[in-house]
Structure 1
């Protein structure tokens, strides 16, 4: 009888130990690694203000999409419309002097509940901004040979960051529509008659995204 009880006890202990060692070592911060990898590109148009005037700014960005949550990539954008330069701020005399603002750098985007039809995203662009002035004449009147001499010298670069949020709609497996809002903040922008406050402003955007989500 004692041998039977002892054998039964040993069986229970061995079974318990086997179960314990077979379990995954659980921790507060699980290291699950990269279990799904994809990528996508976004084509966007931003509506904002530079020096208090309306600015239309196309944008493109894209990169590596990790675990259906985090995008790490690059971004570039620039204004396309006429933004008048006051006469006293002009670097050189021209018939139709305009400002150009652009930016490029690192883009990170965090997607919340990516598989749901409608969800939220939060993004952050950090990188370099630049301004320059140029004569916005008719296309046929442009003298391309003079571009480097007249315009590269008046380009001014500075640090810029732009956090934003979007509401995202999953239209197709490979396409999404994402209207949103962001705030552009310039740091130490000097030259061309524009200050940090002239460049920093809210942007409203509409974006189409294509890729493997």
Structure 2
């Protein structure tokens, strides 16, 4: 009786082992494995940049946010736009004699590589790649009432802006990052604004919030 009971146990164990092996073999095989990804979470940044557009001082306010992987790589989206009035020369105005200003903005994919993220002071390198736009707009209430339908000369083009920052950990959830970047536009065709007028160096600062 004991011999039969032992044989039954061995058969049951063998069957269980075979079933586990069969289940494992049924698992799909994949090219990529994500076991090495240990997400740190998300963070976002408020940015302010000082630069020159068409020979005039321009200030750009912006933001970006994304998914932070392994405390090294941020993948997200971002954008910025001018908040200063950029004068349109008379020869390039869509309405002669009107008080027109240029508007500039860009948006797209934001990637950022952070070195030694846990240290109090460290470096970060980023790249915004996407699209930019310019347009002319009226800067006075009188002209807005006078000219209701007019051409804004809206133009779209490619933008690439690599940059480098010194990152300072203020708290566990907030960082200050002054830096420098270079904005390169490709394909601008607006009146009075070609790529050489829009491409330039920017001094910038970012205040970052999130789970690092």
With the shorter chain as reference, the TM-score category is 0.7 to 0.9
**1:86 aligned to which of 86, 89, 97:** 89
TM-superposed deviation, 1:163: 0.1
Aligned to 2:190: 191
Report SS of the residue matched to 2:86: coil
Q: Please show how residues 16-165 of structure 1 align to structure 2 within 5 Å.
A: 33-93=36-96, 95-137=98-140, 142=144, 146=148, 149-150=149-150, 154-165=153-164
**Normalising to structure 2: TM-score of the pair?**
0.79
Structure-2 separation of matches of 1:94 and 1:68: 54
CA distance in 2, matches of 1:31, 1:189: 40
- TM-score, length-scaled by structure 1: 0.79
Task: Measure, in 2, the Cα distance between the counterparts of 1:94 and 1:60.
Answer: 35
> 4+ residue runs of structure 1 moved beyond 3 angstroms?
140-143
Aligned equivalent of 1:14: none
TM-superposed CA distance for 1:188, in Å, is 1.1
Return the alpha-carbon distance in structure 2 between the equivalents of residues 46 and 175 of structure 1.
19
Counterpart secondary structure, 1:57:
strand
- The equivalent residue for 2:205 is 206
Q: Which consecutive residues of structure 1, in runs of 5 or more, have no partner in the other structure? A: 1-29
- Unaligned ranges ≥5, structure 2: 1-32
Q: Which residue of 2 aligns with 1:7?
A: none
Distance in 2 (CA, whole Å) between partners of 1:122 and 1:185 is 16
